[in-house]
Structure 1
C-alpha cells in the first residue's frame, strides 16, 4: 500500500506579512548574482537547440525526474519542450521509457537559467511550475519563487503560465505577487484527469486537494 502524503504544516495562517514589500523590492531591482559556469554551459547547449527549432517552446520548471516533461512533450508534438531541474540525480535517473524527440531534459540552476533565457530574448508559449518546494516556514519566504529575486525574470518569459501545488497559501501568495506585477490570474482546486508528476499522484491519492494557478503573461 502506498504511504499517504502528510499535509503541509506552516506557522503562517495567511499571506506573509512581508510579501508585498519583498515582491516590490525585487520588481524594482536587478538580480546581479554571478551566473554559475555549469548553468551557463547547459544554457549555451540548449540555446543552440532552441535556435534550430522552427516552432514554439514550452518550459517545464522544477521538472524532477521528467515525468511531466514527457507528458507535456507528448501533448505538444510540434513544440520543443524543455525540462530543467537542479538535481542531477533526478534528471539523470535511469528510465525504461524512451524520451520523445521534441523533449530536452537538463540539470541547471533556474535562478541562473531564467536570467539567461531573458538575456537571450526567449519567449515561451507555455510555462509550467508543478509542485515547487513550498518552503512552509515563515522565515523561508525568500526561498519561494514569488519571494525570490528571480521572480521578475520568470514573468519576462511571457506565455501561458501554470503553477500547481497542494498548499493553497503558496498559490495565493503567488497570485498576490502577480497582481503587484500587473497580471491577473485564476486560482482553483481541481481533479487531475492525468497525473503529471509523482507528487500530484501522491497528494491526490492521499485525499489532499490540489490547486492550480493560471495566467496569461503578455510579452513586455
Structure 2
C-alpha cells in the first residue's frame, strides 16, 4: 500500500520511466487476477452498507489518518465519503467525531478497487493524495500507475485527482492514465487554497512545489 511521502530525493529519477508504457500496456492485456482476501471483502461490505447507495460516493484512497477524508466529508455534505487505508494504527488516530457522511475502513486498496469495479460502483470523486512515490528506478511497479491494478481505476469513473510533491509521480500518473484512456492527460503545479491534510500543509509550509493531475471521467468525451 502507498502512503504520503516526505521530501523525495529528486536525483532518484529525472523523467517518466522508460518502461512505464510497456508496463501499462501489459497490465491492460493481462488483468490482475490475484484472489481477493476475505478481510477485504468484509471491509468492503461494511463500507457499502454504510454508504447505502443513497448519495454520490467519494473515495479517499490511502487516506492515512483520515484527516483528508474528514475534510472531504465536511466540504461535500451531499456526498458520502469512504476513506480506505491498510494501516489500523493510522486510522485509529482519527481525532474527534467523524462526519455522519464518512466511513473509514481498513483494507488493501488493490482489493477494494477491484471490488468496487465488480459491483459496478461509479464514483463521484476519486482522491489519491500524496501516495508513496517509490522514487527508485526499480520501484516502478510499486507506484499505483505501474501496478497491475491500475487499469481498474478509470473504470470507476468520477473526477480522479492525484496529488504529489514529486513532479515525476504526477507526470507519470497522467501519462499512464492517458495510455489507458487513449488521449493526452494534463498535469500542473498548483497551490492549494486550503491544505487537504497535514502532509500537504507540511509541504506548503516548507516551500515545496506541489503537483496534481485532475481528470473528469464522468464524461469520457470531455477534455482533461
Deviation at 1:188, TM superposition (A): 1.1
**1:21-48 deviation line (CA, Å, top 9, x unaligned):** 0000011111111111211110111122
Secondary structure of the structure 2 residue equivalent to 1:139: helix
TM superposition outliers: structure 1 runs of 4+ over 4 Å:
none
C-alpha contact (below 8 Å) 1:7/1:208 kept by paired residues: no
Q: Distance in 2 between matches of 1:177 and 1:82?
A: 25
Q: Distance in 2 between matches of 1:123 and 1:114?
A: 11
Instruction: Please name the residue that 1:144 is paired with.
Output: 143
Instruction: Please name the residue that 1:177 is paired with.
Output: 176
1:31 equivalent to 2:39? Answer no
Task: With the length of structure 1 as denominator, give the TM-score of the two structures.
Answer: 0.92
Task: With the length of structure 2 as denominator, give the TM-score of the two structures.
Answer: 0.91
Instruction: Please name the residue that 1:12 is paired with.
Output: 13
Deviation at 1:184, TM superposition (A): 4.1
Distance 1:123 1:117, change over 3 A: same
Q: Distance in 2 between matches of 1:216 and 1:6?
A: 29
**1:168-199 deviation line (CA, Å, top 9, x unaligned):** 10111111111111254331111111111111
Q: Distance in 2 between matches of 1:202 and 1:73?
A: 21
| Greater displacement, 179-188 / 11-20 | 179-188
**Runs of 5+ consecutive residues of structure 2 not aligned to the other structure:** 1-5
Instruction: Please name the residue that 1:204 is paired with.
Output: 204
| Greater displacement, 26-35 / 141-150 | 26-35
Q: Distance in 2 between matches of 1:185 and 1:215?
A: 7
**CA RMSD, 1 decimal:** 1.5
C-alpha contact (below 8 Å) 1:185/1:216 kept by paired residues: no
